[in-house]
Amino acid sequence: MSEQELKALRLRIDALDEKVLELISERARCAQEVARVKMASLAEGEVPVFYRPEREAQVLKRVMERNKGPLGNEEMARLFREIMSSCLALEQPLKVAYLGPEGTFTQAAAMKHFGHAVISKPMAAIDEVFREVAAGAVNFGVVPVENSTEGAVNHTLDSFLEHDMVICGEVELRIHHHLLVGENTKTDSISRIYSHAQSLAQCRKWLDAHYPNVERVAVSSNAEAAKRVKGEWNSAAIAGDMAAGLYGLTRLAEKIEDRPDNSTRFLMIGSQEVPPTGDDKTSIIVSMSNKPGALHELLVPFHDNGIDLTRIETRPSRSGKWTYVFFIDFVGHHRDPLVKGVLEKISQEAVALKVLGSYPKAVL
């Protein structure tokens, strides 16, 4: 390509950037107007709701449907995610607590869902995220709920039994683990590998094959593992890209998770009910009396009404020995007439039923 051609193309890009800049600013001004309208239409004593997850899901879907390339749908939606995040911050900056420390996959999930224009607050444990949201210190919390290789995150499920929370969104993240070392690590004499127990389990086969005799040490998070390695010469950590970047570690081996499709699902928790978008999921907790056929009775109404169950998990109820609660996720919104009917039917048989929330299916 000649210098001349390159120069002409760069001039075109400059002109386009000016237009993009002007359009983004116009969009941001529109969002400010939305905020003004929201404030103006408040009833006496009503608190304004600036963040509308159902609207954001619609915006992202529309972008993906209309995108003609060359950028892929996900990439384009990611860019719009950030534009919306900044526009919302003009209305009201969201405060979001997540399972920390900085550099965890939960932080990456929070950024994927809310964008980077939020005020984020790392918490030391899942239960603390719940408590922070319950105390009203933040607008939302982000917690992991299930992993495709290792199954349920029990701390999260149990926290739902203790706190009244509304689930207002979900996000899925592909989880890639790397074996990380610091600049002082003697790579031929590694005697200890730190990681979170979930991550050690997700890389079990790889570790058995490559480091069968090395001690595996479970710590509170992958980011914590990365932090420890920095000052030690004989240890390595298993963690993801964010933690590697944050602690300046290098990848001795990349993508060492046993299953290439290894993914984790995260939930956004808060106190705000989300209206239907037409493409939603609902999460409920149900406890049934301890009698034969109880689970069958619970599932029949879903089957009879053609409602798609996406997950069912059992946990001890904590209110009696050998009694259980079921966590169920299904497709639909609790305000859909069909779903309403099913929930009414179940509550006739159940000891207790609680709707944890209906929320848009993950778009990104």
Q: Where on the chain is the footprint of ligand ISJ (CB under 6 A)?
A: 31, 34, 50-52, 55-56, 59, 84, 87-88, 91
Q: Which is nearer to ligand ISJ, 169 or 240 (CB)?
A: 169
The nearer residue to ligand ISJ, 23 or 209, going by C-beta atoms, is 23
Contact 239, 178 (CB under 8 A): yes
| Three-class SS state of 96 | strand
60, 80 contact by CB (below 8 A): yes
How is residue 309 written in tokens?
A: 């169950």
Distance CA 252, CA 239 (A): 12
| Closer CB to ligand ISJ, 275 or 293, in the complex | 275
Phi, psi dihedral angles at 121 (to 5 degrees): -130, 110
Whether 363 contacts 61, CB under 8 Å: yes
Q: How far is the CB of 362 from ligand ISJ (least distance, A)?
A: 16
- Pick from 307, 148, 10, 234: nearest CA to 299: 307
Give the residue ranges of DSSP H helices in 41-72: 53-66
Nearer to ligand ISJ, 56 or 146 (CB): 56
Q: Which two tokens stand for residue 304?
A: 């009879």
Number of alpha carbons in the 13 Å side-chain half-sphere of residue 86: 11
101 and 223 Cβ atoms separated by less than 8 Å? yes
Q: How far is the CB of 295 from ligand ISJ (least distance, A)?
A: 39
Query: CA-based Rg of the chain, rounded to a whole angstrom?
Result: 23
> Which is nearer to ligand ISJ, 100 or 357 (by Cβ)?
357
We find the least distance from the C-beta atom of residue 29 to ligand ISJ, in angstroms, to be 11
Question: What is the length of the chain?
Answer: 364
Cβ closest to ligand ISJ, residue 24 vs residue 218: 24
Token readout for 201 is: 């389990």
Q: Which is nearer to ligand ISJ, 91 or 146 (CB)?
A: 91
Q: How far is the CB of 241 from ligand ISJ (least distance, A)?
A: 27
CB of 123 to ligand ISJ, least distance (A): 23
User: Residue 21: which region, alpha, beta or left (left: phi > 0; alpha: psi -120 to 50)?
Assistant: alpha
Least distance to ligand ISJ, CB of residue 27, Å: 7
Closest residue to ligand ISJ: CB criterion: 87
Which residues lie closer than 8 Å to 101 by C-beta, 6 or more apart?
Answer: 122, 124, 221, 223, 224, 227
- Min. distance of Cβ 87 from ligand ISJ in angstroms? 4
To ligand ISJ, the closest distance from the beta carbon of 41 in angstroms equals 12
Pairwise CA distance, residues 50 & 175, whole Å = 31
Task: Please say which residue, 13 or 21, places its beta carbon nearer to ligand ISJ.
Answer: 21
